[in-house]
Amino acid sequence: MVKKLDFILYYGLIVFAFVLPISIAATNIVWVVLLLVWIIKIIIKKSENFYTPLNYPISIFLIITVVFSIFGLNFFKSMKGMNSELLFIVFFIIAINVKDFQHVKKIAYFFLISSALTGLLGLWQYFSGQNLYDNVIYGKTANLISMFNFRAHGTRSWMHTYAEGLLMALPIGVSFLIYSKKRIIYYFIIGLIVSGIVLSYVRMAWIATVIIFIIMFFILIRRKKNINLSYLLIPLILIAFSSVFLPKRGNIIKRAIDFKDPIRINMWKTSVAILKDYPIFGTGMKNIKTIFPEYYEKLGLDKEYYKLSHLHNTYLHISVERGILGLIIFLSVFGFYFYYGIRKAKYINNFEKYFVIGCLLGILGFMITGLTEHVYGDSEVKITAFFLMALTFYKSKAVFFDRDGTINEDVHYLSNVKDLRIFEKSASAIKLLNDSEFKIIIVTNQSGIARGYFTLNDVKEVNEVLVNKLKENNAYVNTVYVCPHHPDEECFCRKPKPRMLYAAKRDLNIDLKESYVVGDKQCDIDLAKNINIKSVLVLSGQGENVKGADYVAKDILDAAEWIIKNENEKK
């Protein structure tokens, strides 16, 4: 039964990704169904790994929102506004049920295809040639095949949510472009996405698009990645296109730099005035529409648009609703996201690295557009943001290797790279596990540091040479964790204590239950037992009298082959 539910969740997330850019109604139906399936799975299985790096900041943000709503202008309105915070459930549904990076790629691929289709719809809306929104000839289909005030809106009710959704898909498309052999497909996808953004005439989305392209370009240059110059030509061609073929709304460059918008400026002035009177707890959620006109009139501002229920700035809106502390906690959620997202990108390579960078840039675009729009208040945009944030922290399985006696010869207190002798089969074994989607993590006790025999820098130098030599043979080690303490210090990281494994779980979102420990000493086998995962003893080091391993391997390659076999038997 659990396998059937996993099957539904696996493909349900792909369906969710496809409908996300197209229909908020379909999106809501799919995520609610997935939630129900997930709840049933939890009840049957009676356990679930709910860990994500954002659990604590999200929980604190929700608690602060509820508590501060008690002191708001209208408690019942505020509680009604809490419905929008339920969308955080989407983040957990995705983050906890995504299986591995292969699953992520499938999900992201359908998200890109759907985003490209909405970009194509934007082009169709423009080249229909007329504003047909109220045209009786087309009836109910008019809003689908027309421009909204000569601005593309796809299937969204407003062009801003349309542009902001496409903006977050854009860097994901670029990450696929970098590593795809069929680049022409992704040039086409990116071109359609950028076209939709351009035709929306949302200026901050334009600015964020340029920023994303520039950041991605410099990341590629820094990493000496070969790129085609046409990568940069995509936005330039579309800007030129807009200047020539979009006379109805004027030159894109002139419009992008024109921020003399009295409506927004007046709204922000009013927001600051409200915040001065409600700095601690804010007005409470959903109370802005009630109090805003009063302050607007006090300032003697133009009466036009003074009844808007949002403040055209995410950060001002959060501040006015939930106070300064609420804003700080809100920003901390994204601060933790970027912190752990960047750390994860540091420890992974190739397509995975650029995919995570793409997610990070998508959320950066979300935050940039929040300077002039209340993006956090648009459910379509918010769900897309949670979607990317969840995909950033996809789960991975790992093999935790001891170093000395397992990967390389056990030289007593190894501290000099001249004494480093890597076993002949180590690169082949690690590459085999790389190809099977395992993260490779070295965990090593180095008490010689505490004993004064060598320094932490000496150990780092040896580890760096080891990792680089393996990489030369196409074997990739994600990271190395070192315990520098003396056995008598009773630290929490020295094997068999599991702190180094928990650090890997935090940094790479490792699913420890699906992982393995490989080593040549009793402490390695006991480490695996301490967190109830499988262990492999290798006889290439000091392992002859070690007991309790799930498998005894003659060397590291034998260990890797057994792990692959064991994984295949589970399927």
- Phi, psi values for residue 439, rounded to 5°: -80, 140
Residue where a domain terminates, one of 330, 360, 392: 392
Is 331 found in the same domain as 275? yes
Q: Which residues pair with 480 in a beta bridge?
A: 442
pLDDT value at residue 134:
45
Is 86 found in the same domain as 1? no
pLDDT value at residue 251:
53
Number of domains in the chain: 3
Residue where a domain terminates, one of 371, 392, 413: 392
Among candidate residues 292, 249, 288, 250, the one with its CA nearest the CA of residue 270: 292
Please state the pTM of the whole predicted model: 0.88
- Rounded Cα–Cα distance for residues 76 and 518 (Å): 56
Is 330 found in the same domain as 424? no
pLDDT value at residue 2:
78
Per-state percent for the chain, helix, strand, coil, to nearest 5 = 65, 5, 30
Is 344 found in the same domain as 414? no
Angle, to 10 degrees, between the axis of helix 203-222 and the axis of helix 230-245?
160
- Rounded Cα–Cα distance for residues 400 and 535 (Å): 9
Residue appearing with tokens 């207190």? 413
Upper half-sphere CA count for residue 351 (Cβ side, 13 Å): 12
Is 437 found in the same domain as 292? no
Is 414 found in the same domain as 438? yes
- Rounded Cα–Cα distance for residues 242 and 251 (Å): 7
Tokens of residue 32, six digits: 């609610």
Is 428 found in the same domain as 289? no
pLDDT value at residue 34:
96
Is 423 found in the same domain as 333? no
The CATH number that applies at residue 499 is: 3.40.50.1000
Non-local (6+) Cβ contacts of 7 within 8 A are: none
Question: Letter for the amino acid at 296?
Answer: Y
- What is the chain's alpha carbon radius of gyration, rounded to the nearest angstrom? 27
Among candidate residues 391, 393, 363, 387, the one with its CA nearest the CA of residue 375: 363
Give 377's DSSP letter: G
Among candidate residues 56, 31, 33, the one with its CA nearest the CA of residue 332: 56
pLDDT value at residue 136:
43
Give 71's DSSP letter: T
Question: Letter for the amino acid at 159?
Answer: M
Give 401's DSSP letter: E
Output the CA–CA distances (angstroms, integers) from residue 22 to 123, 141, 312, in the order listed.
15, 15, 24
- Rounded Cα–Cα distance for residues 547 and 258 (Å): 73
Q: Each residue of 298-353: pLDDT tens digit?
A: 777 666 555 566 788 899 999 998 889 999 999 999 999 999 999 999 999 888 99
Name the helix (H) or strand (E) containing 317: helix 314-347
Non-local (6+) Cβ contacts of 370 within 8 A are: 313, 314, 315, 376
The residue annotated as part of the active site, out of 402, 507, 511, 526, is 402
CA-angle at 171, arms to 166 and 177, nearest 5°: 115
Is 444 found in the same domain as 329? no
Contact 540, 520 (CB under 8 A): yes
Output the CA–CA distances (angstroms, integers) from residue 214 to 171, 210, 236, 243, 313, in the order listed.
11, 6, 12, 21, 24
Non-local (6+) Cβ contacts of 16 within 8 A are: 27, 30, 31, 34, 94, 107, 387
Each of the 571 residues of the chain gets a pLDDT tens digit; together they read: 778 898 999 999 999 999 999 999 999 999 999 999 999 999 888 777 788 889 999 999 988 888 887 777 777 777 777 777 888 999 999 999 998 899 999 999 999 999 999 998 888 877 665 444 444 444 455 555 555 566 778 888 788 899 999 999 999 998 898 877 777 888 889 889 988 888 888 888 888 988 888 888 787 766 655 555 555 555 555 555 555 555 554 555 555 555 555 677 778 888 888 889 888 888 888 888 788 887 877 777 666 555 566 788 899 999 998 889 999 999 999 999 999 999 999 999 888 999 999 999 999 999 999 998 889 988 899 999 999 999 999 989 999 999 999 999 988 888 888 989 999 999 999 999 999 989 999 999 998 898 888 899 999 999 999 999 999 999 999 999 999 999 888 889 999 999 999 999 988 999 999 999 999 999 999 999 999 999 999 998 777 788 889 999 999 999 999 999 988 877 6
435 carries an active-site annotation: no
Non-local (6+) Cβ contacts of 436 within 8 A are: 564, 567
Is 113 found in the same domain as 140? yes
Range of the domain at 22: 1-48
Tokens of residue 392, six digits: 């950033």
Question: Letter for the amino acid at 562?
Answer: W
Is 145 found in the same domain as 290? yes
Query: Quick count: other Cβ atoms within 10 Å of Cβ 218?
Result: 10
Is 542 found in the same domain as 428? yes
Contact 359, 387 (CB under 8 A): no
- Phi, psi values for residue 492, rounded to 5°: -100, 0
Residue where a domain terminates, one of 365, 392, 419: 392
pLDDT value at residue 571:
63
Query: Quick count: other Cβ atoms within 10 Å of Cβ 242?
Result: 22
404 carries an active-site annotation: yes
Q: Each residue of 19-51: pLDDT tens digit?
A: 999 999 999 999 999 999 999 999 888 777 788
pLDDT value at residue 132:
45
- Rounded Cα–Cα distance for residues 347 and 351 (Å): 12
- Phi, psi values for residue 540, rounded to 5°: -85, -5
Name the helix (H) or strand (E) containing 439: strand 438-445
The residue annotated as part of the active site, out of 6, 277, 302, 404, is 404
